[in-house]
Structure 1
Amino acid sequence: MTRVCLIGDSDCNLQYELLSRETSREALATYDLRRPFENSISLRTVSVGAAVSLLNDLNWYLTRFVDEALVQEPSISEDEWLSRALATELRNGDVEPADTAEFCKIYGLERVGTDPDAEAESADESEGDATESTANDAESDASADAGETRPETTSWRLVEPLYVRRTGGELPAYDLRDVDETLVVRLTEAEHSP
Protein backbone atom coordinates (compact mmCIF):
# COMPACT_ATOMS: atom_id res chain seq x y z
CA MET A 1 0.00 0.00 0.00
CA THR A 2 1.20 3.49 -0.84
CA ARG A 3 1.30 5.97 2.02
CA VAL A 4 0.51 9.67 1.89
CA CYS A 5 1.60 12.08 4.60
CA LEU A 6 0.61 15.73 4.83
CA ILE A 7 2.70 17.96 7.09
CA GLY A 8 0.84 21.10 8.15
CA ASP A 9 2.12 24.66 8.05
CA SER A 10 3.43 25.80 11.42
CA ASP A 11 0.75 28.50 11.71
CA CYS A 12 -2.28 26.18 11.45
CA ASN A 13 -3.76 23.03 12.95
CA LEU A 14 -3.84 20.70 9.94
CA GLN A 15 -6.32 18.20 11.40
CA TYR A 16 -8.78 20.97 12.17
CA GLU A 17 -8.37 22.70 8.82
CA LEU A 18 -8.90 19.52 6.78
CA LEU A 19 -11.56 17.82 8.88
CA SER A 20 -13.68 20.92 9.55
CA ARG A 21 -14.27 21.59 5.84
CA GLU A 22 -16.87 19.48 4.08
CA THR A 23 -15.05 18.87 0.79
CA SER A 24 -11.74 17.78 2.31
CA ARG A 25 -13.50 15.81 5.07
CA GLU A 26 -15.46 13.88 2.43
CA ALA A 27 -12.30 13.26 0.37
CA LEU A 28 -10.60 11.81 3.47
CA ALA A 29 -13.63 10.00 4.91
CA THR A 30 -12.83 6.60 3.39
CA TYR A 31 -9.27 6.52 4.74
CA ASP A 32 -7.87 5.37 8.07
CA LEU A 33 -6.15 8.57 9.22
CA ARG A 34 -3.01 8.55 11.36
CA ARG A 35 -0.81 11.24 12.87
CA PRO A 36 2.83 10.10 12.61
CA PHE A 37 4.29 13.59 13.13
CA GLU A 38 3.31 16.73 14.94
CA ASN A 39 0.61 18.59 12.94
CA SER A 40 0.29 15.90 10.25
CA ILE A 41 -2.14 13.43 8.72
CA SER A 42 -1.17 10.20 7.00
CA LEU A 43 -3.17 7.52 5.23
CA ARG A 44 -2.76 4.55 2.90
CA THR A 45 -3.89 4.34 -0.71
CA VAL A 46 -3.72 1.51 -3.25
CA SER A 47 -1.09 3.01 -5.56
CA VAL A 48 1.05 6.01 -6.44
CA GLY A 49 -1.63 6.98 -8.95
CA ALA A 50 -4.33 6.97 -6.27
CA ALA A 51 -2.05 8.98 -3.95
CA VAL A 52 -1.37 11.63 -6.60
CA SER A 53 -5.09 11.78 -7.48
CA LEU A 54 -6.01 12.34 -3.83
CA LEU A 55 -3.38 15.09 -3.53
CA ASN A 56 -4.79 16.70 -6.68
CA ASP A 57 -8.31 16.54 -5.22
CA LEU A 58 -7.06 18.24 -2.05
CA ASN A 59 -4.90 20.82 -3.86
CA TRP A 60 -6.91 23.87 -2.71
CA TYR A 61 -6.31 22.83 0.92
CA LEU A 62 -2.70 21.79 0.34
CA THR A 63 -1.74 25.22 -0.98
CA ARG A 64 -3.25 26.90 2.08
CA PHE A 65 -2.51 24.56 5.00
CA VAL A 66 0.19 22.04 4.04
CA ASP A 67 3.93 22.62 4.17
CA GLU A 68 4.88 19.23 2.69
CA ALA A 69 2.96 16.47 0.88
CA LEU A 70 4.83 13.16 0.85
CA VAL A 71 4.21 9.79 -0.81
CA GLN A 72 5.85 6.49 0.14
CA GLU A 73 5.74 3.60 -2.31
CA PRO A 74 7.14 0.33 -0.85
CA SER A 75 8.15 -0.98 -4.29
CA ILE A 76 10.55 1.98 -4.55
CA SER A 77 11.70 2.24 -0.93
CA GLU A 78 10.43 0.95 2.41
CA ASP A 79 12.15 3.78 4.27
CA GLU A 80 12.28 6.81 2.00
CA TRP A 81 9.48 9.11 0.87
CA LEU A 82 8.86 10.86 -2.43
CA SER A 83 7.96 14.51 -2.82
CA ARG A 84 4.59 15.18 -4.43
CA ALA A 85 6.33 16.41 -7.59
CA LEU A 86 8.47 13.26 -7.86
CA ALA A 87 5.46 11.00 -7.20
CA THR A 88 3.61 12.82 -9.98
CA GLU A 89 6.51 12.35 -12.40
CA LEU A 90 6.65 8.66 -11.45
CA ARG A 91 2.92 8.22 -12.00
CA ASN A 92 3.12 9.97 -15.37
CA GLY A 93 6.03 7.77 -16.49
CA ASP A 94 8.40 10.75 -16.75
CA VAL A 95 10.93 9.05 -14.45
CA GLU A 96 11.82 5.42 -13.76
CA PRO A 97 11.70 4.13 -10.16
CA ALA A 98 15.45 3.38 -10.25
CA ASP A 99 16.14 7.02 -11.13
CA THR A 100 14.41 8.55 -8.10
CA ALA A 101 17.18 8.22 -5.50
CA GLU A 102 19.79 10.84 -6.47
CA PHE A 103 18.33 14.07 -5.08
CA CYS A 104 17.06 14.09 -1.50
CA LYS A 105 16.39 16.15 1.54
CA ILE A 106 16.83 14.73 4.99
CA TYR A 107 14.67 15.97 7.83
CA GLY A 108 15.73 15.62 11.42
CA LEU A 109 13.07 14.03 13.63
CA GLU A 110 12.74 15.10 17.25
CA ARG A 111 10.49 13.55 19.85
CA VAL A 112 8.02 15.96 21.41
CA GLY A 113 6.09 14.86 24.47
CA THR A 114 5.10 11.33 25.37
CA ASP A 115 2.20 9.66 27.09
CA PRO A 116 3.69 8.15 30.31
CA ASP A 117 1.35 5.12 30.21
CA ALA A 118 2.19 4.38 26.59
CA GLU A 119 5.88 4.96 27.25
CA ALA A 120 5.83 2.31 30.00
CA GLU A 121 4.05 -0.15 27.69
CA SER A 122 6.53 0.38 24.88
CA ALA A 123 9.65 0.25 27.06
CA ASP A 124 10.11 -3.45 26.32
CA GLU A 125 9.50 -3.04 22.58
CA SER A 126 12.11 -2.14 19.99
CA GLU A 127 12.19 1.42 18.64
CA GLY A 128 10.72 0.57 15.22
CA ASP A 129 9.89 3.04 12.47
CA ALA A 130 9.10 6.49 13.83
CA THR A 131 6.57 7.00 11.05
CA GLU A 132 4.35 4.06 12.08
CA SER A 133 1.49 4.42 14.52
CA THR A 134 1.92 2.99 18.01
CA ALA A 135 -1.62 3.67 19.18
CA ASN A 136 -3.82 1.13 20.93
CA ASP A 137 -5.95 -0.58 18.23
CA ALA A 138 -9.26 -0.47 20.09
CA GLU A 139 -8.89 3.21 20.97
CA SER A 140 -7.72 3.97 17.45
CA ASP A 141 -10.66 2.17 15.83
CA ALA A 142 -13.08 4.12 18.01
CA SER A 143 -11.52 7.45 17.07
CA ALA A 144 -11.41 6.48 13.39
CA ASP A 145 -15.12 5.62 13.54
CA ALA A 146 -15.72 9.06 15.02
CA GLY A 147 -13.94 10.63 12.04
CA GLU A 148 -10.88 11.63 14.04
CA THR A 149 -7.23 10.91 13.44
CA ARG A 150 -5.70 8.10 15.44
CA PRO A 151 -3.76 9.29 18.48
CA GLU A 152 -0.05 8.65 18.81
CA THR A 153 1.83 7.85 22.00
CA THR A 154 4.86 9.84 20.91
CA SER A 155 4.80 12.81 18.64
CA TRP A 156 7.63 13.49 16.23
CA ARG A 157 8.52 16.89 14.80
CA LEU A 158 10.29 17.38 11.46
CA VAL A 159 13.12 19.89 11.77
CA GLU A 160 15.60 21.63 9.44
CA PRO A 161 15.84 19.77 6.14
CA LEU A 162 19.31 19.12 4.74
CA TYR A 163 19.44 19.00 0.93
CA VAL A 164 21.83 16.29 -0.27
CA ARG A 165 22.82 14.32 -3.33
CA ARG A 166 23.32 10.58 -3.12
CA THR A 167 26.77 9.59 -4.35
CA GLY A 168 27.97 6.01 -4.68
CA GLY A 169 24.63 4.81 -3.33
CA GLU A 170 25.18 6.56 0.02
CA LEU A 171 23.53 9.59 1.57
CA PRO A 172 25.56 12.04 3.65
CA ALA A 173 24.78 12.00 7.37
CA TYR A 174 22.35 14.55 8.78
CA ASP A 175 24.50 17.05 10.68
CA LEU A 176 22.43 20.19 11.19
CA ARG A 177 21.57 19.29 14.78
CA ASP A 178 21.48 16.32 17.14
CA VAL A 179 18.27 14.38 16.40
CA ASP A 180 16.74 11.05 17.41
CA GLU A 181 15.88 9.91 13.88
CA THR A 182 15.86 11.17 10.29
CA LEU A 183 13.38 11.06 7.44
CA VAL A 184 14.58 10.97 3.83
CA VAL A 185 12.49 12.53 1.06
CA ARG A 186 13.46 11.94 -2.57
CA LEU A 187 13.12 15.01 -4.77
CA THR A 188 13.11 16.03 -8.39
CA GLU A 189 16.27 17.79 -9.58
CA ALA A 190 14.29 21.06 -9.85
CA GLU A 191 13.19 20.81 -6.20
CA HIS A 192 16.76 20.09 -5.11
CA SER A 193 18.24 23.08 -6.94
CA PRO A 194 15.56 25.78 -7.22
Structure 2
Amino acid sequence: MTRVCLIGNDDVNLQYELLSHETSREALATYDLRRPFENSLAVRTVSVGAAVSLLNDLQWYLTRFVSVAIVQDPSVSDEEWLSRSLATELRNGDVEPQETAEFCKVYGLERVERGATAPAAGGSDPGATSGSAIRDGDGNGAGEDTESATEPDDETDENGADSTYRLVEPLYVRRTDGDLPAYDLREVEETVVVRLTESEYAP
Protein backbone atom coordinates (compact mmCIF):
# COMPACT_ATOMS: atom_id res chain seq x y z
CA MET A 1 0.00 0.00 0.00
CA THR A 2 1.10 3.55 -0.77
CA ARG A 3 0.85 6.11 2.02
CA VAL A 4 0.09 9.80 1.83
CA CYS A 5 0.93 12.13 4.71
CA LEU A 6 0.01 15.80 4.99
CA ILE A 7 1.64 18.12 7.53
CA GLY A 8 -0.33 21.24 8.36
CA ASN A 9 0.85 24.81 8.47
CA ASP A 10 1.77 26.04 11.94
CA ASP A 11 -1.18 28.42 12.15
CA VAL A 12 -3.96 25.93 11.34
CA ASN A 13 -5.49 22.77 12.75
CA LEU A 14 -5.11 20.54 9.70
CA GLN A 15 -7.57 17.85 10.74
CA TYR A 16 -10.26 20.41 11.43
CA GLU A 17 -9.70 22.29 8.17
CA LEU A 18 -9.77 19.19 5.96
CA LEU A 19 -12.70 17.54 7.68
CA SER A 20 -14.87 20.63 8.10
CA HIS A 21 -14.97 21.37 4.35
CA GLU A 22 -17.39 19.21 2.38
CA THR A 23 -15.22 18.60 -0.68
CA SER A 24 -12.11 17.53 1.20
CA ARG A 25 -14.17 15.54 3.72
CA GLU A 26 -15.79 13.58 0.89
CA ALA A 27 -12.40 13.00 -0.78
CA LEU A 28 -11.12 11.46 2.48
CA ALA A 29 -14.32 9.66 3.47
CA THR A 30 -13.30 6.21 2.23
CA TYR A 31 -9.90 6.21 3.94
CA ASP A 32 -8.72 5.09 7.37
CA LEU A 33 -7.38 8.36 8.76
CA ARG A 34 -4.20 8.44 10.84
CA ARG A 35 -2.27 11.14 12.70
CA PRO A 36 1.39 10.01 12.68
CA PHE A 37 2.84 13.41 13.59
CA GLU A 38 1.68 16.57 15.29
CA ASN A 39 -0.86 18.44 13.12
CA SER A 40 -0.84 15.80 10.37
CA LEU A 41 -3.20 13.52 8.50
CA ALA A 42 -2.18 10.28 6.76
CA VAL A 43 -4.01 7.69 4.66
CA ARG A 44 -3.16 4.49 2.76
CA THR A 45 -3.95 4.26 -0.96
CA VAL A 46 -3.61 1.42 -3.47
CA SER A 47 -0.84 2.92 -5.63
CA VAL A 48 1.34 5.93 -6.37
CA GLY A 49 -1.19 6.91 -9.02
CA ALA A 50 -4.02 6.88 -6.48
CA ALA A 51 -1.89 8.89 -4.04
CA VAL A 52 -1.11 11.56 -6.64
CA SER A 53 -4.78 11.67 -7.68
CA LEU A 54 -5.85 12.22 -4.08
CA LEU A 55 -3.35 15.05 -3.69
CA ASN A 56 -4.66 16.60 -6.92
CA ASP A 57 -8.23 16.35 -5.60
CA LEU A 58 -7.12 18.18 -2.43
CA GLN A 59 -5.08 20.84 -4.25
CA TRP A 60 -7.22 23.80 -3.10
CA TYR A 61 -6.75 22.76 0.51
CA LEU A 62 -3.07 21.88 0.15
CA THR A 63 -2.20 25.39 -1.00
CA ARG A 64 -3.99 26.92 1.99
CA PHE A 65 -3.45 24.56 4.90
CA VAL A 66 -0.56 22.16 4.16
CA SER A 67 3.17 22.82 4.47
CA VAL A 68 4.38 19.34 3.45
CA ALA A 69 2.73 16.63 1.33
CA ILE A 70 4.69 13.37 1.06
CA VAL A 71 4.13 9.90 -0.38
CA GLN A 72 5.65 6.55 0.58
CA ASP A 73 5.55 3.58 -1.78
CA PRO A 74 7.05 0.13 -1.11
CA SER A 75 8.31 -0.12 -4.70
CA VAL A 76 10.71 2.69 -3.80
CA SER A 77 11.35 2.36 -0.06
CA ASP A 78 9.65 1.06 3.06
CA GLU A 79 11.23 3.83 5.13
CA GLU A 80 11.87 6.91 3.00
CA TRP A 81 9.24 9.21 1.54
CA LEU A 82 8.84 10.99 -1.78
CA SER A 83 7.95 14.62 -2.29
CA ARG A 84 4.70 15.18 -4.15
CA SER A 85 6.63 16.31 -7.24
CA LEU A 86 8.82 13.21 -7.23
CA ALA A 87 5.80 10.94 -6.71
CA THR A 88 4.16 12.61 -9.70
CA GLU A 89 7.25 12.00 -11.84
CA LEU A 90 7.26 8.36 -10.72
CA ARG A 91 3.57 7.99 -11.56
CA ASN A 92 4.15 9.53 -15.00
CA GLY A 93 7.08 7.21 -15.74
CA ASP A 94 9.54 10.11 -15.93
CA VAL A 95 11.79 8.49 -13.32
CA GLU A 96 12.44 4.91 -12.19
CA PRO A 97 12.27 3.91 -8.48
CA GLN A 98 16.03 3.30 -8.33
CA GLU A 99 16.67 6.79 -9.69
CA THR A 100 14.90 8.64 -6.86
CA ALA A 101 17.45 8.36 -4.06
CA GLU A 102 20.07 11.02 -4.79
CA PHE A 103 18.45 14.25 -3.59
CA CYS A 104 16.85 14.30 -0.15
CA LYS A 105 15.48 16.45 2.63
CA VAL A 106 15.92 15.08 6.16
CA TYR A 107 13.62 16.29 8.93
CA GLY A 108 14.38 15.96 12.61
CA LEU A 109 11.65 14.43 14.74
CA GLU A 110 11.11 16.18 18.05
CA ARG A 111 8.95 14.68 20.76
CA VAL A 112 6.38 17.03 22.25
CA GLU A 113 3.89 16.48 25.02
CA ARG A 114 0.32 16.46 23.85
CA GLY A 115 -1.21 19.80 24.64
CA ALA A 116 2.19 21.54 24.69
CA THR A 117 1.05 23.78 21.85
CA ALA A 118 -2.24 25.63 21.81
CA PRO A 119 -4.86 24.32 19.34
CA ALA A 120 -4.97 26.31 16.13
CA ALA A 121 -7.99 28.41 15.31
CA GLY A 122 -10.90 26.39 14.03
CA GLY A 123 -11.42 23.89 16.83
CA SER A 124 -9.71 20.83 18.19
CA ASP A 125 -12.05 17.93 17.42
CA PRO A 126 -12.15 17.37 13.67
CA GLY A 127 -13.42 13.85 14.19
CA ALA A 128 -16.65 15.30 15.51
CA THR A 129 -17.11 17.11 12.22
CA SER A 130 -16.26 14.20 9.96
CA GLY A 131 -18.07 11.48 11.83
CA SER A 132 -15.01 9.22 11.57
CA ALA A 133 -12.23 8.71 14.07
CA ILE A 134 -8.63 9.71 13.38
CA ARG A 135 -6.21 7.26 14.92
CA ASP A 136 -2.90 8.39 16.34
CA GLY A 137 0.21 6.78 14.91
CA ASP A 138 0.33 4.48 11.91
CA GLY A 139 0.82 1.09 13.48
CA ASN A 140 4.62 1.31 13.20
CA GLY A 141 7.27 2.00 15.79
CA ALA A 142 9.89 4.66 15.27
CA GLY A 143 12.46 2.05 14.29
CA GLU A 144 15.94 1.49 15.59
CA ASP A 145 17.68 3.32 12.75
CA THR A 146 17.42 6.97 13.73
CA GLU A 147 18.41 8.11 10.24
CA SER A 148 15.44 6.45 8.56
CA ALA A 149 12.45 6.63 10.89
CA THR A 150 9.07 6.66 9.18
CA GLU A 151 6.03 7.14 11.38
CA PRO A 152 6.42 6.66 15.13
CA ASP A 153 3.36 5.98 17.19
CA ASP A 154 2.34 8.44 19.85
CA GLU A 155 3.88 7.39 23.13
CA THR A 156 3.52 7.85 26.86
CA ASP A 157 6.58 9.16 28.67
CA GLU A 158 7.89 8.12 32.05
CA ASN A 159 5.59 10.63 33.77
CA GLY A 160 2.50 9.20 32.07
CA ALA A 161 2.00 12.23 29.79
CA ASP A 162 0.89 11.60 26.23
CA SER A 163 3.41 12.67 23.62
CA THR A 164 3.68 12.91 19.88
CA TYR A 165 6.30 13.96 17.33
CA ARG A 166 6.69 16.96 15.09
CA LEU A 167 8.91 17.51 12.08
CA VAL A 168 11.58 20.17 12.60
CA GLU A 169 14.32 21.94 10.59
CA PRO A 170 14.84 20.07 7.32
CA LEU A 171 18.40 19.43 6.19
CA TYR A 172 18.98 19.21 2.43
CA VAL A 173 21.46 16.45 1.61
CA ARG A 174 22.75 14.50 -1.35
CA ARG A 175 23.26 10.75 -1.15
CA THR A 176 26.82 9.68 -1.94
CA ASP A 177 27.79 6.02 -2.46
CA GLY A 178 24.46 4.98 -0.98
CA ASP A 179 24.85 6.96 2.25
CA LEU A 180 23.20 10.11 3.55
CA PRO A 181 25.03 12.64 5.73
CA ALA A 182 23.95 12.58 9.37
CA TYR A 183 21.31 15.05 10.52
CA ASP A 184 23.14 17.64 12.62
CA LEU A 185 20.91 20.71 12.89
CA ARG A 186 19.77 19.84 16.41
CA GLU A 187 19.63 16.92 18.82
CA VAL A 188 16.76 14.63 17.81
CA GLU A 189 15.76 11.05 18.53
CA GLU A 190 14.65 10.20 15.00
CA THR A 191 14.61 11.55 11.45
CA VAL A 192 12.34 11.37 8.42
CA VAL A 193 13.90 11.23 4.95
CA VAL A 194 12.02 12.72 1.99
CA ARG A 195 13.38 12.14 -1.51
CA LEU A 196 13.22 15.14 -3.83
CA THR A 197 13.42 16.01 -7.49
CA GLU A 198 16.65 17.74 -8.49
CA SER A 199 14.79 21.03 -8.92
CA GLU A 200 13.51 20.82 -5.32
CA TYR A 201 16.97 20.18 -3.92
CA ALA A 202 18.36 23.29 -2.23
CA PRO A 203 21.70 22.64 -0.49
Is 1:148 the counterpart of 2:148? The answer is no
- Give the gaps of 5 or more residues in structure 1: 116-141
1:130-173: CA deviation from partner (whole Å, max 9, x where unpaired): xxxxxxxxxxxx99x93131135331100000000000000000
CA distance, structure 2, for counterparts of residue 8 and residue 188 of structure 1: 22
Is 1:17 the counterpart of 2:5? The answer is no
The residue correspondences of 1:48-87 to structure 2 (distance < 5 A) are: 48-87=48-87
Runs of 4+ in 1 over 2 A off after TM superposition: 151-154
CA distance, structure 2, for counterparts of residue 22 and residue 148 of structure 1: 17
1:189 aligns to what? 198
Deviation at 1:193?
3.3
CA distance, structure 1, for counterparts of residue 132 and residue 21 of structure 2: 13
- Give the gaps of 5 or more residues in structure 2: 116-126, 138-153, 156-163
1:174 aligns to what? 183
**1:146 partner amino acid:** G
Deviation at 1:7?
0.3
What percentage of residue pairs aligned between the two structures are identical? 74
Q: Secondary structure at the match of 1:170?
A: coil
CA distance, structure 1, for counterparts of residue 53 and residue 186 of structure 2: 36
C-alpha distance 114-66 of structure 1, shift in aligned 2 (>3 A): closer
Q: Secondary structure at the match of 1:64?
A: helix
CA distance, structure 2, for counterparts of residue 100 and residue 169 of structure 1: 12
Q: Secondary structure at the match of 1:55?
A: helix
1:20-74: CA deviation from partner (whole Å, max 9, x where unpaired): 0000000000000000000000000000000000000000000000000000001
**1:188 partner amino acid:** T
* Alignment TM-score, normalising by the size of structure 2: 0.79
Cα RMSD (Å) of the superposition? Answer: 1.8
The alignment covers a number of residue pairs equal to 167
Is 1:93 the counterpart of 2:102? The answer is no
